Amino acid sequence: MAIPLSQNALVVLERRYLKKDRKGKPAEAPEALFRRVARVVASADTKFDPGADLKKTEEEFYKLMTSLVFLPNSPTLMNAGRRLGQLAACFVLPVEDSIDSIFATLRHAAMIHKSGGGTGFSFSRVRPENDVVLSTRGISSGPISFMTVFDVATETVKQGGTRRGANMGILRVDHPDIEAFIHSKTELAKLNNFNISVALTSSFMEALAAEKDYDLVNPRNRKLVRRVSATTIFDQIVKAAWRSGEPGIIFLDRINQANPTPQLGDIEATNPCGEQPLLPYESCNLGSINLAKLVKDAKFDKAKLRRTVRSAVHFLDNVIEVNKYPLPLIETMSRKTRKIGLGVMGFADMLVKLGVAYDGNAAVRRAEQVMTFVSREARKASSELAKKRGNFPAYEGSIFDNAATPYMRNATTTTIAPTGTISIIARCSSGVEPIFAVVYERRVLNGETLFEVHPVFEHVAKQNGFYSEKLVEEIAQTGSIQHIKGIPDKIRRLFVTAHDIAPEWHIRIQAAFQKYTDNAVSKTVNFPRDATPEDIQKVYRLAYESGCKGVTIYRYGSRGRQVLNIGKDQDREAAIVPRTRPVQTTGVTERINTGCGKLYVTINEDHEGICEVFAQMGKTGGCASSQIEAAGRLISLALRSGVKVEAIIKQLTGIRCPSPIWQNGGMVLSCPDAISHVIKHYTNLDAADMPAMMGVCPDCGSALEHEGGCLVCRSCGFSRCS
- Assess whether 271 carries a catalytic annotation: yes
Q: Is 305 strand, coil or helix?
A: helix
Catalytic residue among 8, 73, 193, 271: 271
What sign results for the dihedral spanned by CA atoms 40, 718, 593, 109?
Answer: negative
What is the spatial distance between Cα 600 and Cα 686, in angstroms, rounded to a whole number?
A: 22
Catalytic residue among 273, 428, 697, 721: 273
The Cβ-side half-sphere exposure at 78, using a 13 Å CA radius, reads 24
With contact defined as beta carbons under 8 Å apart, do 398 and 344 qualify? no
Is 275 known to be catalytic? Answer: yes
Strand partners, 441: 451
CA angle 271, 276, 280 (to 5 degrees): 65
Distance between CA 228 and CA 216 in Å, rounded? 7
260 phi, psi to nearest 5 deg: -75, -20
- For residues 68 and 53, is the Cβ–Cβ distance under 8 A? no
Spatial separation of the C-alpha atoms in residues 249 and 270, rounded to whole Å: 11
**275, 612, 705, 707: the active-site residue:** 275
Q: Are 275 and 522 in contact (CB under 8 A)?
A: yes
Q: For residues 187 and 215, is the Cβ–Cβ distance under 8 A?
A: no
Sign, CA torsion 262/268/272/274: positive
Gap between the Cα atoms of 53 and 45, Å rounded: 8
Rounded CA-CA distance 430/413 in Å is 20
232 Cβ contact partners less than 8 Å away, ≥ 6 residues apart: none
- DSSP-derived letter for residue 15 is I
- Identify whether the C-beta of residue 165 lies closer than 8 Å to the C-beta of residue 116: no
Active site (annotated) includes residue 623: no
Burial (CB < 10 A; 0-12, 13-18, 19+), residue 397, is exposed
Catalytic residues: 271, 273, 275
